[in-house]
Amino acid sequence: MEKKPFVSLEKLREIAEKFPTPFYLYDEKGIRENAEKVKAAFAWNPGFREYFAVKATPNPFILKILKEYGCGTDCSSMTELMMSDACGFRGHEIMFSSNDTPPEEFKFAHDLGGIINLDDITHIRCVEETLGFIPETISCRYNPGGVFTMSNGIMDNPGDAKYGMTTEQIFEAFRILKEKGAKRFGIHAFLASNTVTNEYYPILAGTLFELAVKLQRETGAKVAFINLSGGVGVPYRPDQEPNDIMAIGEGVRRAYEKILVPAGMNDVAVYTEMGRFMLAPYGCLVTRAIHEKHTYKEYIGVDACAVNLMRPAMYGAYHHITVMGKEQSPCDHRYDVVGSLCENNDKFAVDRMLPEIAMGDLLVIHDTGAHGYSMGYNYNGKLKSAELLLKENGEFQMIRRAETPGDYFATFDFCNVMDKYR
Ligand SMILES: *Cc1c(COP(=O)(O)O)cnc(C)c1O
């Protein structure tokens, strides 16, 4: 499928007059339409809730939009819990799916009324010692081990992942938790990442539903919800077929009818913790070509770098690039599109065929709405960009300002050595 930016060159020029590149731009209309679709896809399950994975796009303005569609938040840290609280998420609207968890974070999550999802059987003792009791509602993360494969060859390797409990452990955990007073149980698993197939959730649901039936039968623990976690992907490459969330919801419904209903478990709520699917296509990184270099290869230097978007450097991830205003020009130039870090992996594209790029051209780097800005760091003393929201009426709003040198030097505020630049 052809990848088109959600913003016109004219609008981008208007924005860039006010906010210097690079910046992140989010598409409010796209976010809303997609959130509505997710809601519709699982409307057959009265208890359904999408807990948006905050780590994907930790911005209060974004969280508040998703909240309007009934979303909760899935948190993995103290600050994500704080952001959820500040945005008005209450009680069971907060899921705490962390791992290697500091005890004080269990405490804070519980104080907010959030649901604690235990990554490991040893965390039972940690939670009990920290809180003084076991919460009545509690969830356990499952890891079946081995290799997880789907019919289109997509696979992931749960056996090699640090997350979750083994089959034996989750049965034991349910028994212990029940004995210690837990009353409503959840099961959670994340077995494959960025799956671009409608099969993933239905297959995962089948596995978890069967496990739930066995767990409830053998331990007597009441399974109240099953959390399919994240992992629903987006087509980063133009030749990929996007997921159909309605088909995914329907696939999960079929597994529910086949496995849970006959077992008398027709009151189980289905939860999801999607991050990427909720936001990735509805954000882009906008950058400008500032240098061209002709050595052993052709390079285009842009004003963004891996600090703004780490996925290509970290995973060799593909992000489609549109040279704005040249959509109809032939892609007859082979470029490495690079940032300014003193790291040779700071490349947004390698050997990419693109239209001829002129200095000053605006480039849109697609599908950066999730795991984009949030993964950023400050290597080379580079500062993180602003985040902007393109509203449905065409107005744009700053939803995070760009970092300043003062932010970078803020952790020296106990002494006066950097005062000159603050
Ligand atoms: C990262 C993560 C998610 C979101 O994953 P996506 O691939 O963005 O959907 C959900 N749940 C947990 C526990 C995670 O670690």
Q: How far is the CA of 200 from the centre of ligand 1 (A)?
A: 14
Q: How far is the CA of 369 from the centre of ligand 1 (A)?
A: 14
Q: Which of 142, 273, 274, 278 to mutate to test the pocket of ligand 1 (most atoms within 8 A of CB)?
A: 273
Atom of ligand 1 at shortest range from CA of 188: 13
What string of DSSP letters covers 4-38?
Answer: --SS-HHHHHHHHHHSPSSEEEEEHHHHHHHHHHH
Q: How far is the CA of 56 from the centre of ligand 1 (A)?
A: 8
Using a 10 angstrom Cβ sphere, with 0-12 exposed, 13-18 middle and 19 or more buried, the burial of residue 32 is middle
Sites in the chain below the pLDDT cut of 70: none
Q: Which two tokens stand for residue 341?
A: 């870090």
Residue nearest to atom 3 of ligand 1 (CA): 230
The response to whether residue 274 sits with its C-beta less than 6 Å from ligand 1 reads yes
CA distance 177 to 118: 11
Residue nearest to atom 5 of ligand 1 (CA): 230
Q: How far is the CA of 169 from the centre of ligand 1 (A)?
A: 22
User: How far out from the chain centre does Cα 185 lie?
Assistant: 25
CA distance 277 to 232: 6
Helix, strand, coil abundance in the chain, percent, nearest 5 = 35, 25, 45
Q: Token pair 């693109």 is at which residue?
A: 354
373, β-bridge pairs = none
The response to whether residue 97 sits with its C-beta less than 6 Å from ligand 1 reads yes
With vertex at residue 412, the alpha carbon angle to CA 384 and CA 410, rounded to the nearest 5 degrees, is 35
Instruction: Give pLDDT, residue 1.
Output: 75
CA distance 400 to 60: 9
Whole-angstrom distance between the N-terminal and C-terminal Cα of the chain?
Answer: 47
Instruction: Give pLDDT, residue 152.
Output: 75
Q: How far is the CA of 17 from the centre of ligand 1 (A)?
A: 35
Q: Which domains occur in the chain, in start order? A: 28-278 (3.20.20.10), 281-412 (2.40.37.10)
Write the pLDDT tens digit of every residue in 119-166: 999 999 999 999 999 999 999 999 999 999 888 777 789 999 999 999
Instruction: Give pLDDT, residue 151.
Output: 81
